[in-house]
């Protein structure tokens, strides 16, 4: 007997709870069981590895897993899922800002796509350019470029330590383009353009790079 027939209330309660939190789209990315609703609107939960429907015990285990965070399990929130959802939201926010592909950057520079791709990879290897891989292809965030499509010289001392430390490109993009508390709520890439503040931004980037390189 499956959890769907013997435990419909648990399956529905979990599905509605996750829907209300906006976390349902992120279940698969977290490696957790997922559900689809049948013609009657009832959730049908399945194992992500086998595709088989969850039984009573598996559904109960999922309930415990999702509610294990916090001192009051009945009010707990699945923190790992929240982090995945937040990461997805931040990435979408970043992709809503200007960026270029090899094709559009090549058109801006007046060079071929192949020449542009070679130049981008060379600059990336030299820690002079932030390049981000997305589901649809490679993008170059526009904030780090001049009007002619070349790397901003004022941003190099800030960008280089982050990339050299192996910082995740998405995290680097977010840190550089969003307000930072250590900088008084200012945006690093904008503050770097101010000669009077450039050293402060570089120092903050170096400190962050040190934490990235040695998280312990």
Is the model more confident about 160 or about 50? Answer: 160
At 1 the pLDDT is 36
Question: 110 and 207 share a domain?
Answer: yes
Question: 186 and 90 share a domain?
Answer: no
State the residue range of the domain holding 51. 3-94
Which of helix, strand or coil describes residue 160?
Answer: helix
Final residue in a domain of this structure, among 94, 112, 128? 94
Who's near 194: CB < 8 A, 6+ residues apart? none
Which token pair is 212?
């990235």
Q: What percent of the chain has pLDDT over 90?
A: 53
Calpha distance 129→201 (Å, rounded): 17
Final residue in a domain of this structure, among 72, 94, 116? 94
Q: What is the pLDDT of residues 56-102, one digit of tens each?
A: 888 888 888 777 764 444 445 666 777 777 777 788 889 999 999 99
Q: For residue 200, is pLDDT > 90?
A: yes
Q: How confident is the model at residue 141 (pLDDT cuts 50, 70, 90)?
A: very high
Stretch 42-51: mean pLDDT: 87
Residue 138 vs residues 96, 117, 122, 131, 133: alpha-carbon distances, Å: 15, 10, 14, 7, 5
Question: 102 and 209 share a domain?
Answer: yes
Final residue in a domain of this structure, among 65, 94, 123? 94
Q: What is the pLDDT of residues 24-41, one digit of tens each?
A: 887 887 778 888 998 888
Query: In the chain, how long is the greatest CA-to-CA distance?
Result: 70
Question: 119 and 159 share a domain?
Answer: yes
The strand pairing partners of 84, in sequence order, are: none
| Domain tally, the chain | 2
Question: 41 and 88 share a domain?
Answer: yes
Question: 107 and 182 share a domain?
Answer: yes
Neighbours of 82 (CB within 10 A): 15
Q: For residue 202, is pLDDT > 50?
A: yes
Stretch 10-20: mean pLDDT: 87
Question: 72 and 109 share a domain?
Answer: no
């Amino acid at each position: 007997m499956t959890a769907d027939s013997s435990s419909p209330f648990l399956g529905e309660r979990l599905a509605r709870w996750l829907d209300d939190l906006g976390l349902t789209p992120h279940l698969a990315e977290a490696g957790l069981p997922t559900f689809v609703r049948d013609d009657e609107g009832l959730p049908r939960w399945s194992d992500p590895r086998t595709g088989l429907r969850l039984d009573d015990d598996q559904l109960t285990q999922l309930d415990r897993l999702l509610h294990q965070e916090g001192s009051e399990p009945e009010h707990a929130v699945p923190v790992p899922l929240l982090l995945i959802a937040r990461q997805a939201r931040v990435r979408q926010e970043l992709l809503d800002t200007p960026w270029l592909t090899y094709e559009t950057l090549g058109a801006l520079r007046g060079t071929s796509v192949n020449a542009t791709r070679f130049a981008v990879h060379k600059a990336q290897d030299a820690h002079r350019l932030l390049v981000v891989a997305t589901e649809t292809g490679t993008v170059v965030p526009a904030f780090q470029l001049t009007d002619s499509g070349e790397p901003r010289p004022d941003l190099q001392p800030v960008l280089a330590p982050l990339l050299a430390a192996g910082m995740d490109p998405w995290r680097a993009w977010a840190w550089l383009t969003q307000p930072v508390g250590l900088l008084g709520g200012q945006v690093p890439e904008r503050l770097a353009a101010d000669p009077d503040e450039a050293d402060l931004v570089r120092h903050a980037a170096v400190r962050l790079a040190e934490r990235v390189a040695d998280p312990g």
